[in-house]
Amino acid sequence: MDPAHKALLRTHRLELSDQLMVSDTIVPFLFQEEILTAGNVEDIEAQATEKRKALRLLDVLPNRGPKAFHCFTQSLDDYSWLRDSLTHQLHANTSPGQHDEHRFPASLLLTKVPSDRHLSRLASRLGAEWESVLVDLGVCAESVYRCKADHTHSTHTAALSGLVLWRQRNGKKATVQKLMHSLQNVGIHTSVMEEVMMT
């Protein structure tokens, strides 16, 4: 799946899981289109609630190939407002002539150290990939584990504590550019960082 599509599903993860009833039409359609395997369907349907089923589907989709996002939007016939929202957001993030890093002034990329507010926003968007981002940034595995152990009930707080630790240790070298490179290295679209910095 394209990194931009992954980022979009991650950004709208809670909104989608709150509204989608995936068992009725979405999962069968994705199985029919060979996006999901029988094992995937069984895994999703084994979840206890509709919300958990939707969350599990959103976990599986990014790893189901280049057609997965397109087929997913096709499956949203009963949720046209969500499909329109995703499509609109995707086009807004990938306007012609704009390239990932060049949407920022070069001086911002090279010298800007993200604030606590920026890091908090980023932490809320990272989800399960926060550990991979921190390791790519050079935070040792022991420190990542400590962040996780100290904040077992909140992924956001664990991710934020790790990002703050990285900034403290690197000082002026803890730039937006470094963050964007690490996001790209673990497969997260840079539009996530753009949203964090521009809102």
Does residue 77 share a domain with residue 12?
yes
For residue 32, the enclosing domain spans 3-93
- Sequence-separated (6 or more) residues with CB below 8 Å from residue 183: 133, 189, 190, 192, 193
The pTM assigned to this predicted structure is 0.48
The helix/strand/coil state of 186 is coil
Domain count for the chain:
2
Q: Which stretches of the chain score pLDDT less than 50?
A: 95-102
pLDDT digit string, tens, across residues 76-126: 888 888 888 888 777 776 544 444 444 555 555 557 888 888 899 888 888
Residue at a domain's end among 93, 119, 149: 93
Q: What is the mean pLDDT of the chain?
A: 84
**Which pair of tokens denotes residue 120?**
């908090």
**What's the pLDDT at 96?**
42
Q: Are 165 and 139 in contact (CB under 8 A)?
A: yes
Does residue 33 share a domain with residue 8?
yes
CB atoms within 10 A of CB 77: 11
Residue at a domain's end among 49, 66, 93: 93
